[in-house]
Amino acid sequence: MTNQHIHCIVNDCHYWNQGNMCHANEILVTTDEFGSRQPDHIDAATAKQLTPDAAGSCMATCCKTYVPKGSDQIKADTVKRMP
Ligand code: SF4
């Protein structure tokens, strides 16, 4: 696997870190439509089972891995926060 650098400015996310870096060990990006229909446990670990979809614009994509800091949904999937 390559050494990824995911930059993100969504600072109320559990995985956000100083310098606008994402510290999730993996993330799932989906279309807004798909993401809005799926429960929290559908995330990076299930990515290989999901059907690819077209978004049409960047405004129609979302980070499905986002979870608010302090949320009880942090453990809804297997994504880990890296040090
Ligand atoms: S999980 Fe998504 S929203 Fe959260 S910091 Fe990473 S890229 Fe940003």
Q: Tens of pLDDT along 40-68? A: 999 999 999 999 999 999 999 999 999 99
Q: What is the mean pLDDT of residues 14-28?
A: 97
Which residues have C-beta atoms less than 6 Å from ligand 1?
A: 6, 8, 10, 13, 15-16, 22, 24, 27, 63, 65-66
Q: Is residue 12 part of a domain?
A: no
Q: How far is the CA of 26 from the centre of ligand 1 (A)?
A: 9
- Check whether 73 has a pLDDT greater than 80: yes
Q: Which of 19, 22, 17, 18 is nearest to 5 (CA)?
A: 22
**Could you list the residue range(s) of the whole structural domain that residue 49 is in?**
26-63
Distance of CA 37 to the CA centre of its chain: 15
As a whole number of angstroms, the distance between CA 9 and CA 7 comes to 7
Give the C-alpha separation, 1 to 53, whole Å. Answer: 24
Residue 81 lies in a domain: no
What is the spatial distance between Cα 8 and Cα 13, in angstroms, rounded to a whole number? 10
Q: How far is the CA of 48 from the centre of ligand 1 (A)?
A: 19
How confident is the model at residue 2, as a pLDDT? Answer: 60
Closest ligand 1 atom to residue 63 Cα is: 2
Is 74 among the domain residues?
A: no
